[in-house]
Structure 1
Amino acid sequence: MKIRMVLLCVISLGFGVVSRAPADEDAVFGYRDVVKRAEDLAKGPFAPQVQDLSPELQNLDYDLYRRIRFLPEHSVWETAPYRLGFFHPGYYFKQLVLFHAIEKDRLHDIPFSPAYFYYDKPLQFSGHEAFVGFKVYVPSSRPGIQDEFLSFLGASYFRAVARGLHWGLSTRGLAVDNGINGPEEFPYFREFWMREPNPGDQGIRFFALLDSQSVTGGYQFDVQYGETTVIDVKATVFVRKKPEVLEIAPLTTMFYFGENSVNKPTLKPDYQPSGKTEFSMNKTDFKRREFRPEVHDSDGLLMNTVSGEKLWVPLDNPPNVTVRRFSDVTSFAMLQRDRDIDDYLDREAEYHRRPSLIVQSKSDLGPGFVRFLQIPTKDEYTDNQVAGWEFRNPPEAGGKVEFAYQLRWTGDEPDVDQFRVASTTVRPNPESNETRFSVEYDKPKKGELIPVGDLRPHIVVNHPGEVRDVQFTPTGTGWLVSFTIHNPNPSQQLDVSCVILRQDTFCSEKWLYLLNM
């Protein structure tokens, strides 16, 4: 079926609209120009652009690379409402990325210079270095300080934050063949054209050229920073060879463990023993102990469906790679709902301040699914959750696809008139092949009061699972639904769902869980 992704309740959100550049401001270089370059590029074979770096830059490790810092006083457009900074080549980042500035009626290159950076120690240069990514600043409320809120670095990855939030999940311009048996392909933005904002502009516009073995693409980004940071994306993608999986707006996040995790780690993944014998074993154990209750950038995938259902999939750290597809979806978002710092106990990472990311399509995408990929992880430094919109039938070689969507990086989510899932706890009992679930629902923030007597939980599990011992308990802020799933065949995965019904109409999100015994 045709899918048109429209976020429910979007009118009530009150988010600002990104100011659009007048047509004549793109006369020097605009969307049609970058699309034409992508079309021409697709006619030839893929030729990766790798920088000619000195051996010292090529061999930088993580610690040395992170000590290289861009100096904000060298940001481009110092008096504009949005200012540009750049990332240094080295470590993993060695692809050649070119940058151009569109300033009024002229177009010019933005060359690399070591003078733009602070170095912990002197480095050798080949003289052919280029930037590998960029960041965008806005003036801070603190005098003399600029706040970084947007970064593009590595392949087609980018991420943003809203005012008052911490860096968290990321997204990509495109995902190709992720989560299949063969190798994943990583398209990358090889060239950018940055349009200088006018003094009164509320947003910034730039263009990007995407390239990979299978695809090329011309992109336009319109960005506005605020309490919710909004990014409008418009793109035309050309296909060199047909990929198995073509996915737009792939949201990438991390879930190490949370309230629903069964086997939480007991030791911190980043602890490195000092080797000094004067420390007692008790002190070492204390330093290594994992005391945090939860560690994640996001805690759930929210989807709206054609029928009006809202689906909530709590994230987890699975024992094996899993791929699920959800059809008839009209919108999706990766959320961090738990905002209580006491649920994380990590004032450095500030997981309670990680942004949620909502995707709203602005074009008819044709037949497809929301594809949800989960990968096991042994630490908090690996993004292991990916959700994006997958074309059911990717274009053939020589074909193209056009799309437009909006990204909203926010600490809030839309007010709805349904109960929403607040928490999930899981208690397995392998001896009896049973798992006890407790799903807590919060009352809706708006809408009519729902009579208690009209409510009932509805739990479904596929064969051969069996639902047992259902309890429905008021909590003061909503309802707690507790139930047991018996699985006589523990080697088989079970799909479990839970929803609160008023008569035969759903009045809550539908909670979905993939049970591995």
Structure 2
Amino acid sequence: MTLARLFGILALGSTLISGAPLWADDTPGLVEPTPSEGAPGAFTFAAVVRRAQELAASDYQPDRPALPDYLADLNYDKYRDIRFDRNQSLWKAEGLPFQMQFFPRGFLFKDRVTVNVVEEGVSRIVPFKHDLFDYGKNQVPEEMPEDLGFAGLRLHYPINRDDVFDEVIVFQGASYFRAVAKGLHYGISARGLAIDTGLPTKEEFPIFREFWVFKPARDAVDITLFALLDSESVTGAYSFVIRPGLETVVDVKARLFMRRSVQKLGIAPLTSMFFHGENTDRFIDDFRPEVHDSDGLLVVNGTGERIWRPLVNPIGLRVSDFIVENPRSFGLLQRDRAFHSYEDLEANYQTRPSALIEPIGDWGRGMVELVEIPSDAERYDNIVAYWIPEQRPEPGEELKLEYRLRFTQDPEAGLLGGRAISTRVGAAGTDILDSSRRKFIVDFAGASLAERAPKGGLEAETEPEIEAVVTSTSGELSKSIVQWNPHTQGWRLFFELKPDGRGPADLRAFLRQGNDVLTETWSYRWVRE
């Protein structure tokens, strides 16, 4: 099970236990400010940038002191049995609109994470205390080391009901974080940075080793958090401004400092799960029609062209690159919101968030890379997508980036153009001796397509037909057929591919009427498996 999958599951729920809160209006539980950062009004993002720059000038030194066996040897279930005492939530006693809770170290979470609270420009460390946690059935001694430290944090805000503080965002495990919006359940994760993902060499996982969380005002609708990123190759300063609600929006600002060169620097990475879906053309022994947190990658290039790539669970590792200059957005989306597509009363895959990255400013030329990893179970996060700049930064260089990250049910709400809402693949032809031919069925839907439903009479005779433009990098394509689908109020595309046996076929298709392009570009890589 991956860290991304683990920390999202572990974040769910806390047990109410008795005890007075450690924090009051004057927040006495916080450690005194450090001299360098304690002057009122002195603490800003620039202080974190300086820390990152200073770290980059020296070798990486992880903060991972040894854990006692009763914490280090915990399995998943035993670690999850450790619950934060909600009555101890920071800012609960003050009635502020946000509350903060913490995770203990243990199990897979070995790195010690420092958490600070910033109030009126003063930064103070939140001290680790064992009585913040109920250790459940775990056998732990009464006297435990006082310097074990936290493994992460989570923020709560009433997004569904005014009287319930919902967990809205979690930072735990390497540089992973995930969030939910109103009515949604945890699914997709984001990361601060991805390094050497999908290569034969070992992937590097930077960590957020320290956080600074700004105390919210009584009428706050957002909260600011700074983070210090550290790894063998890169350090970084991150600013997150988080606005929970109908969609949870995270404005991200990053300053990266290269310790050494890397083969692949993945900016604004997203991590998700795709086990099987409507396009899976091999048998999966599962009562559920589909199992996935995301069903496709969306890339919107600098010219406004929208490219949709349905996700797959491949037999072998699959890496796809989309060359883009100044991308407008990219993300992993869950477009299928119908319960009958999943039939899972516990996982609720129909309410998993989509996550969309919207770059701020010009990112220049580079590529969005999609990595699809073979998986034999839904517990593995096997999908990764990120941006790779064309110019690889060298040691000693600084990289500045800004982007908006939206966790939402439908980041394409209001879009009028046609979208690919389903992709199906199956056997084609009637020749039982030739099973290599594959049939593709793509449904496009959208307000603009619904308006172009078939018409009768003279108007139908004079109006150009809706047709498909389909291309492939290999093999032979049949004549495409476009048919009105009254069930989706859209248009369905049929075509067949006869592979030539020389390798993968990269397919592209869109619908047009005369000179009008009606849909996004559907992109698919078919591989003989």
For the aligned pair, the TM-score class normalised by the smaller chain equals 0.7 to 0.9
1:450 positional shift: 7.7
Question: In structure 1, what is the equivalent of residue 469 of structure 2?
Answer: 458
1:264 positional shift: 3.5
TM-score (norm 2): 0.85
* Structure 1: distance between partners of 2:237 and 2:193: 11
In structure 2, relative to structure 1, the CA distance for the partners of 1:140 and 1:449 (3 Å cut) is: closer
Matched, 1:425 2:424: yes
1:143 positional shift: 7.8
Question: In structure 2, what is the equivalent of residue 126 of structure 1?
Answer: 145
Question: In structure 2, what is the equivalent of residue 404 of structure 1?
Answer: 402
Question: In structure 2, what is the equivalent of residue 72 of structure 1?
Answer: 86
- Aligned residue for 1:33, secondary structure, equals helix
TM-score (norm 1): 0.87
Matched, 1:265 2:284: yes
Matched, 1:341 2:339: yes
In structure 2, relative to structure 1, the CA distance for the partners of 1:26 and 1:179 (3 Å cut) is: farther
CA contact (8 A) 2:40 2:120 kept: no
Please list, as runs of the form range in 1=range in 2, the aligned pairs for 1:27-426 lying within 5 A after superposition: 27-78=41-92, 79-121=95-137, 122-124=139-141, 125-139=144-158, 145-266=164-285, 290-328=286-324, 329-414=327-412, 415-426=414-425
1:305 positional shift: 2.1
CA contact (8 A) 1:52 1:126 kept: no
1:448 positional shift: 6.7
CA contact (8 A) 2:426 2:440 kept: yes
Give percent identity, aligned residues only.
38
In structure 2, relative to structure 1, the CA distance for the partners of 1:486 and 1:447 (3 Å cut) is: closer
1:353 positional shift: 0.2
In structure 2, relative to structure 1, the CA distance for the partners of 1:448 and 1:152 (3 Å cut) is: same
Find the partner of 1:478 among 490, 497, 500: 490
In structure 2, relative to structure 1, the CA distance for the partners of 1:102 and 1:427 (3 Å cut) is: same
Question: In structure 1, what is the equivalent of residue 21 of structure 2?
Answer: none
In structure 2, relative to structure 1, the CA distance for the partners of 1:184 and 1:409 (3 Å cut) is: same
Deviation digits for residues 71-95 of structure 1, max 9, x if unmatched? Answer: 2111111121111001111010010
CA contact (8 A) 1:170 1:251 kept: yes
Deviates more, 1:468-477 or 1:334-343: 468-477
* Structure 2: distance between partners of 1:27 and 1:106: 7
1:255 positional shift: 0.3
* Structure 2: distance between partners of 1:142 and 1:322: 42
Deviation digits for residues 425-455 of structure 1, max 9, x if unmatched? Answer: 1003693421101001113369975876331
Question: In structure 2, what is the equivalent of residue 516 of structure 1?
Answer: 527
- Aligned residue for 1:208, secondary structure, equals strand
Deviation digits for residues 318-353 of structure 1, max 9, x if unmatched? Answer: 111111111124321211011111110001000000
Counterpart of 2:321, as a letter, is R
Deviates more, 1:290-299 or 1:411-420: 411-420
- Aligned residue for 2:46, secondary structure, equals helix
Find the partner of 2:513 among 478, 483, 502: 502
* Structure 2: distance between partners of 1:51 and 1:368: 39
Deviates more, 1:249-258 or 1:308-317: 308-317
Find the partner of 2:440 among 431, 437, 444: 437
Counterpart of 1:466, as a letter, is E
- Aligned residue for 1:32, secondary structure, equals helix
1:487 positional shift: 0.8
- Aligned residue for 1:453, secondary structure, equals coil
- Aligned residue for 1:327, secondary structure, equals strand
Question: In structure 1, what is the equivalent of residue 13 of structure 2?
Answer: none
* Structure 1: distance between partners of 2:472 and 2:40: 55
Counterpart of 2:506, as a letter, is D
The size of the alignment, in residue pairs, is 468
CA contact (8 A) 2:159 2:245 kept: no
* Structure 2: distance between partners of 1:513 and 1:42: 41
Counterpart of 1:312, as a letter, is W
Structure 1 residues not aligned, in runs of 5+ = 1-24, 267-289
CA contact (8 A) 1:28 1:102 kept: no
Deviates more, 1:372-381 or 1:109-118: 109-118
In structure 2, relative to structure 1, the CA distance for the partners of 1:257 and 1:120 (3 Å cut) is: same
Counterpart of 1:232, as a letter, is D
CA contact (8 A) 1:239 1:399 kept: yes
CA contact (8 A) 2:159 2:181 kept: no
* Structure 2: distance between partners of 1:46 and 1:231: 28
* Structure 1: distance between partners of 2:519 and 2:68: 58
1:503 positional shift: 1.9
- Aligned residue for 2:150, secondary structure, equals coil
Counterpart of 1:237, as a letter, is L
Deviation digits for residues 202-230 of structure 1, max 9, x if unmatched? Answer: 10001110000000001111001000100
Deviation digits for residues 445-501 of structure 1, max 9, x if unmatched? Answer: 6997587633111111113x1111422110121111111100121x51110111101
* Structure 1: distance between partners of 2:440 and 2:422: 11
Deviation digits for residues 83-122 of structure 1, max 9, x if unmatched? Answer: 1001111010010111111122532110111211122123
- Aligned residue for 2:478, secondary structure, equals strand
* Structure 1: distance between partners of 2:483 and 2:257: 54
In structure 2, relative to structure 1, the CA distance for the partners of 1:304 and 1:114 (3 Å cut) is: same
* Structure 2: distance between partners of 1:502 and 1:206: 49
Question: In structure 1, what is the equivalent of residue 503 of structure 2?
Answer: 492
* Structure 1: distance between partners of 2:114 and 2:243: 23
Deviation digits for residues 280-304 of structure 1, max 9, x if unmatched? Answer: xxxxxxxxxx210000001111111
- Aligned residue for 1:424, secondary structure, equals strand
Counterpart of 2:229, as a letter, is L
* Structure 2: distance between partners of 1:443 and 1:99: 46
Counterpart of 1:398, as a letter, is G
* Structure 2: distance between partners of 1:264 and 1:158: 33
CA contact (8 A) 1:51 1:128 kept: no
1:168 positional shift: 0.7
1:417 positional shift: 2.9
* Structure 2: distance between partners of 1:169 and 1:142: 23
Ranked by relative contact order (alpha carbons within 8 Å, sequence separation 6 or more), the top structure is 1
* Structure 2: distance between partners of 1:509 and 1:418: 7
